[in-house]
Structure 1
């Protein structure tokens, strides 16, 4: 596809309004461009997955300007306006691409009746679990049944019974009775995660979602299936039954697991984090994130979290520790070990300290195995920030051998360490004992245990 075809716009008519949309866009995405909250309801369609077209909820009426088959001339009505030839049956918006001159009706009586019927069939065997369902409050079936359903049930037969509380993997629990067979999770695992482990078994109303024999949903992107599930069929085992979503506050953030910087949302209440979910950014992470990145918040309340300011292991006030740190830094012969986990503001602050103290700055890089998707080999989330702020002027080494040499030679007498365990970076406890260590960090480690001053920091 060339650049010209990407940016080429066409004009279509949506509910009587002419709209310019990119050529090749499907009707669901085209309707979104009208704005004003206008949307074609859908379940199985997802903008980052292939089109399945199996939920039939996105039905719309479609028509094209009529032309004479023999001459190709436009056929006009009595008012001189070109007639529109409407399709006799509604079409699905997810699999129909917009074409020049196309007319779309998203709210006609035919469309309303179609959505009404689809909703009724989806609810026939759906359990009345809303009061206990984790998806309540963000459930598309709940919303669309209110907007497009009958408001009452004509079904008097016995509902089908399917497996409940099925463990698909270490982090995902399935309630098959709630599943509407949209296949989003199947397509995600196959197309995005590259681990084809999910599928449907049996037929008709007895169809159920399950893992293939001998496999489970254990890849590092499994919780994305929970995010994209439009109902409460797939739930996070960790978040299950912990908190209603309408009580939670959403805060935009960035994942600090690696240098990818996946955009995230933090869900919290009264200062406690309950879950982390991905935030859409097509240039970085689309709408996905790793399972391991979601679990990072648990470190906030871990047992080894630093919460007290100390001098030689004795609890002191923040003012006392700050004054003691200033006195040590003013003595000179200071080395600063920065952190690529620090924010830009923190790195600029430490750069200022280093300049005023004449300190030599060191910083280490952390690497691990990448997955080629959203977990990079570079596990230093803000190494680029350290270069931009001028905290360092070149890419760092993986060890602090030069600093160890300076300590042993007596050139360094005070070390300000930020969120790094020096004992894991080439400096043993015997070497650390030769200097005064000021440790600024979030969690206890061997360096904080031998530090002269300990200053807890925010995560």
Structure 2
């Protein structure tokens, strides 16, 4: 009886020639990842509303009217849908997105705190074109600027993925950081002369896919491969948030939130995150 119910309440999607089952309305990018097919992304976060900002998750989707490139973070699965994440059109689109993102992104990985755990770095190696055709001067901003006592912002590294702004608005309820200006001058920043005075600002550092937002206590302290990690429970209050305690040479250097569905979804207050 259970098997019959499961078959009726799910839809069948073909991904790279393999049939998978997904829940009706489930986003394509989540259904693919859950069944073992990773689609690259920058803006998508499973705990926030999709926006389709970065376009890195473009894949070929055929829902009955022929294949077309669509952002998988915005497309809910439908029965009979056919998806190709490895087609030439998909690869060319992803290469193009990465080339555009790297036009203004500084190549300062050796001195960037995100180096070694950077999705942009990893996906450029895995899906990028390997070289750029851009020879003009990159965009420049003053860097880094302190937007609070705990967070520094490097606008040159920002890829406008909308993660930090969505978190501040949707999760924290403090829309204190947002997009400013237009076109090539678009940047993320706080209101003029107003600090990023949120009790949850450290979460934006953790979910930033590049080194645009960095935490003052961790800046230039270590590389991720030098850290030892221990899963634990936050000790500053009674929430019981799941955390990863990362240390080096017997010294705690940072705390990261772990996505625990019954508890904190990966979010931490600044009181918990910087309590050490």
TM-score computed with the length of structure 1 as normaliser: 0.58
**Superposition pairs for residues 136-147 of structure 1, below 5 Å?**
136-147=115-126
Say whether 1:108 aligns with 2:87. Answer: yes
**2:55·2:97 contact (CA, 8 Å) conserved in 1?**
yes
Counterpart selection for 2:266 from 287, 290, 294 = 287
Counterpart selection for 1:202 from 160, 169, 181 = 181
CA distance in 1, matches of 2:141, 2:49: 27
CA distance in 1, matches of 2:135, 2:97: 18
Counterpart selection for 2:225 from 238, 246, 256 = 246
**1:252·1:264 contact (CA, 8 Å) conserved in 2?**
yes
Counterpart selection for 1:269 from 222, 228, 248 = 248
User: What displacement does 1:164 show?
Assistant: 0.9
Say whether 1:260 aligns with 2:236. Answer: no
Mark the structure with the bigger radius of gyration.
1
Say whether 1:18 aligns with 2:19. Answer: yes
CA distance in 2, matches of 1:295, 1:184: 21
Q: Secondary structure at the match of 2:124?
A: helix
User: What displacement does 1:8 show?
Assistant: 2.9
**Superposition pairs for residues 29-108 of structure 1, below 5 Å?**
29-35=30-36, 38-65=37-64, 85-87=65-67, 89-108=68-87
User: What displacement does 1:219 show?
Assistant: 1.4
* Larger RCO (CA under 8 A, 6+ residues apart): 2
Q: Secondary structure at the match of 1:131?
A: helix
User: What displacement does 1:199 show?
Assistant: 1.3
For residues 420-455 of structure 1, give each alpha carbon's deviation from its aligned partner in whole angstroms, at most 9, with x where no partner exists: xxxxxxxxxxxxxxxxxxxxxxxxxxxxxxxxxxxx
For residues 243-301 of structure 1, give each alpha carbon's deviation from its aligned partner in whole angstroms, at most 9, with x where no partner exists: 1111101111000122210000010122211100101111110110111112222xxxx
Counterpart selection for 1:234 from 199, 213, 222 = 213
**1:171·1:218 contact (CA, 8 Å) conserved in 2?**
no
Structure 1 gap segments, 5+ residues each: 66-84, 298-459
User: What displacement does 1:163 show?
Assistant: 2.4
Q: Secondary structure at the match of 2:149?
A: coil
For residues 302-358 of structure 1, give each alpha carbon's deviation from its aligned partner in whole angstroms, at most 9, with x where no partner exists: xxxxxxxxxxxxxxxxxxxxxxxxxxxxxxxxxxxxxxxxxxxxxxxxxxxxxxxxx
CA distance in 2, matches of 1:98, 1:138: 30
Counterpart selection for 1:117 from 72, 88, 96 = 96
Aligned residues: 271
**1:171·1:238 contact (CA, 8 Å) conserved in 2?**
yes
**2:12·2:20 contact (CA, 8 Å) conserved in 1?**
yes
Say whether 1:162 aligns with 2:141. Answer: yes
Q: Secondary structure at the match of 1:20?
A: strand
**1:61·1:105 contact (CA, 8 Å) conserved in 2?**
yes
**1:21·1:33 contact (CA, 8 Å) conserved in 2?**
no
CA distance in 1, matches of 2:96, 2:206: 26
Say whether 1:148 aligns with 2:127. Answer: yes
TM-score computed with the length of structure 2 as normaliser: 0.95
**1:162·1:208 contact (CA, 8 Å) conserved in 2?**
no
